Structure 1
Amino acid sequence: MARKIGSRYTANQILGRGSAGTVWLGEGPEGPVAVKLLREDLASDQELVGRFVQERTALLGLEHPHIVTVRDLVVDGNDLALVMDLVRGTDLRTRLERERRLAPAAAVAIVADVADALAAAHAAGVVHRDVKPENVLLDMQGPLGPGGAHPALLTDFGVAKLIDSPKRNRATKIIGTPDYLAPEIVEGLPPRAAVDIYALATVLYELLAGFTPFGGGHPGAVLRRHVTETVVPLPGIPDELWQLIVQCLAKAPASRLRASELAARLREQLPTLTGMPPLDVDEPDPSEEAAEEPAPSVPQGEPVRRRGAVSLVPGAKPDSNRDTHTSMRVPAPDELAGGAHGTARAPRATGAPRPGSARHKAAVRRRRVTLGVAGVVLAAVVGVGAWFASSDGDDHPAPATHSTSTP
């Protein structure tokens, strides 16, 4: 059912839903548009509406070939909406769910496009704060690039900042998507441009591996891993590409590359990635993660949600397809220090158990039992051998020795 958005736009058809609102296919004075209509309970928040208007100039000023342009911001009664260019295609999450992981050339080409978009935004003083596959759109009408990748455009600039309340969030809350949050956000520091680089490197890792480097399990465990854990090399990719990922996943923000540097360095890697198939690595077993992390407290009979499945808005129902945001308190220093330091969710060859996992521990126990049995068998063999040696001496007495004594 069509509905009017302000005086200039008509929303005709729902394209998708998210924890922040609904995206509609709309019509405006200049043709088709995408209208992101924020939740009505958000529109009734006068503080949020004020910040929405304050961000208008910054959001409308972001223009780049790899940014979904915001054409207008509408505040009308209970309607709070961003009117954006319509991209004929799909989002990166949908492609990732369909293919599980991408060929390295395609993954790098897509991430390089997004890095270009971030470079333009950072130059304008805008930090995205919520870089993830859901916010990367693939233009199916654009020319194919390396690895068959369609042009990538970054969307939803400013949405996380708009919904984030400084009064409610200062040093007490975290708003974002757990799998992609930089360590400094977890520790309560203000988000700078480097948080987008960290999130984008996490996206690249996910495109290559099929899973994020620190995700899985309860959101609190995910946040702790960002601060305390490190990643190991993904098998099968060039060392130069891996070093880029490592640098951009550095715990210290100053150690990460700038967006423009990352885009240039990634494109330098493309010739070496041509024709390389998707990596063959196992995704961590959820049952292993459940065994290693303390289970969250949930009402009896309710399923335990994984991968950061906590609503952005308190009391909100889950998204139609996934929950991607979380709002939770900043962990105390002793909580962050409580996790084991080491390698998080280490990729491994297909079929091999992850060190420290329940399956790995079971394999170790089996090896110990096997070695124990082997030790018993060996001891028995040695004992039998000794018995035969002794028995052989009784059946065949040694020649008698003669001694002489002096009378």
Structure 2
Amino acid sequence: MAYQSDLLRLLDERGYLHQLTDAAGLDALASRQVVPGYIGFDATAPSLHVGSLVQIMMLRRLQQAGHQPIVVMGGGTTKVGDPSGKDESRQLLTNDQIRGNIANIRVVFERFITFGDGPTDALLVDNADWLDRLEYVPFLRDVGRHFTINRMLTFDSVKVRLEREQPLTFLEFNYMILQAYDFLELSRRVGCRLQLGGSDQWGNIVNGIELSRRIDGAELFGATTPLITKADGSKMGKSVSGAVWLNEEQLSHYDYWQFWRNTDDRDVGRFLRLFTDLPLAEIARLETLPGAAINEAKIALANAATTLCRGESNAAQAAETARLTFAEGSAGDDLPRVAVTGAIALVDALVALGFARSKGEARRLIAGGGARVAGAKVDDEAATVTVAGDPIRVSAGKKQHGLLVPA
């Protein structure tokens, strides 16, 4: 379909679109007026990770196309837990923990979208403002009657848990009703017309649209992104060392930059479109660079993605640390560091630096020839490293480097 609105053309050209509830209707609406659109984020940790970044970028694209992004923090739904993509129930958090997580997460949104009072300025709302005030019996009577158990059992988020014989609590089973109710409330409170989300949220989005039509006669729309996986089939948001957090308190600027620098050759063009503002013509040039020259594209990706999330100066410093580490063999200031008194077992050093999640994993890394100390390969699983004077560089493979420094 040839889209007429700047919004859908931008989303389509950049590779964000997977499903639309009414493509022609949304295209026409976005061509004639500002469309407020929202995405919900539960506050289960002090930071979101890279797996949420495509949704944050969707809100950025919405604003770039002249529309209004709405960030809905799940102060209410975090207390319930979304069963989508989960094999087990989510750990329940206290109200104070949820509020603290929301405050930390908001900082990242402020780097990607502009908040304010203008017609296209972003809003941030908390669904606890309406969910915490619901009365159970009236909610069941007024909202619950529009949902059938038969249909709810067909949603992937429920089917997968049941097929794997994993417990699904009644609390979680209510999540899809609460999310649908969010859309109804947002339509009433701030005139929201569009819900965006990942493809795993399709059923929840459709529920919200249908609920709003039945109760208020509202015409609402939904759009989802494809599941974003890496070329090797693994999920976005994970690295060898664990989650790739968006907040610097959870992950250093250098490690964030290095995550993007380590992108598989096959993913470079797609990730440049999704996660940077580089012009499409420049991306087309970068993704077709031959042979080792593709590293120029990876560096461009790392610089642009890190600049958006962590700021231009931090991205430049991370790039310089990488240049010193790889090109000159020096020790950059941004490398992870562990203070050592005397000597430390190499397996312990690899775990402390975040290069292995356990001693067993560290031993396998050493046995496989992937560990180096001061540039020299070490294959002795019982090796120790003595730190007395200058920092000593420890490496895991070709891409992870850290320093052991005197305590």
Q: TM-score, normalised by structure 1?
A: 0.24
- Name which one, 1 or 2, has greater alpha-carbon Rg: 1
Q: Which has the higher helix share?
A: 2
